[in-house]
Structure 1
């Protein structure tokens, strides 16, 4: 009985060199992905917070498009949001509500010639402010008219 245990323990030597190399490569790839993609998701979170804050403003319906852009721009400046989220702001006024949309796409180089494309579509509809930040209206129809 003692020799059977000794024999099975002799085979359990731990992970091989190649096993450790694979673990390190997978962890390195995961850290690379996180470091390249995390800033875009942090910005998207700030965009959502900006829209929610704007939705809490009781004077939103009476604000001009310029005032809305200025208000969001101030929030973005304080939270260091730059680039596509700030450029893709669109305000569409309807008969019963105003839709503030920030719809953008980011392409981030990952490794060599491999890019990651991230799409973000955040909307605030004043008719349904509790559903903030989820796209409720397809604004492509409005863009084609302009």
Structure 2
């Protein structure tokens, strides 16, 4: 006489639950990835600015804005970050700050707010794009 083995596997309800969890994570990824991707382009623009200009202190503010705008146009950067540019000239260095927030509609009345703060210090371009000072 053989004993029956219990069935192994997932039930239909369990499978639907797993599919819903997967859909939630994919939906979240579609909302979260674009702001980080655009910020990565902004960081790349700052690094390119530091790499292409040996003496960033001698470059005028208008030229800095023009170079960044060209980079944003080529890479299709459309966030508010490209407009929030602050150029602070000090005694022997230039600090370029791009600080902005992005709000993304997540679900119904729930929004995700992303806050980015990128700084380029001409005296330490290798430390681009983390905030050096508040």
What is the TM-score when the length of structure 2 is the normalising length? 0.92
How many equivalent residue pairs?
A: 133
Q: Is the 8 A contact 2:38 2:79 kept in 1?
A: no
Instruction: Report the equivalent of 1:93.
Output: 89
Work out which of the residue numbers 10, 20, 25 in structure 1 matches 2:20: 25
Work out which of the residue numbers 66, 71, 96 in structure 1 matches 2:67: 71
Q: Is the 8 A contact 2:79 2:102 kept in 1?
A: no
**Distance between the aligned counterparts of 1:25 and 1:66, measured in 2?**
51
**Distance between the aligned counterparts of 1:36 and 1:66, measured in 2?**
34
Q: Identify unmatched segments of 5+ residues in structure 2.
A: none
**Distance between the aligned counterparts of 1:20 and 1:28, measured in 2?**
12
Q: List structure 1 segments (4+ residues) > 6 angstroms apart after TM superposition.
A: none
Q: Identify unmatched segments of 5+ residues in structure 1.
A: 139-146
What is the TM-score when the length of structure 1 is the normalising length? 0.85
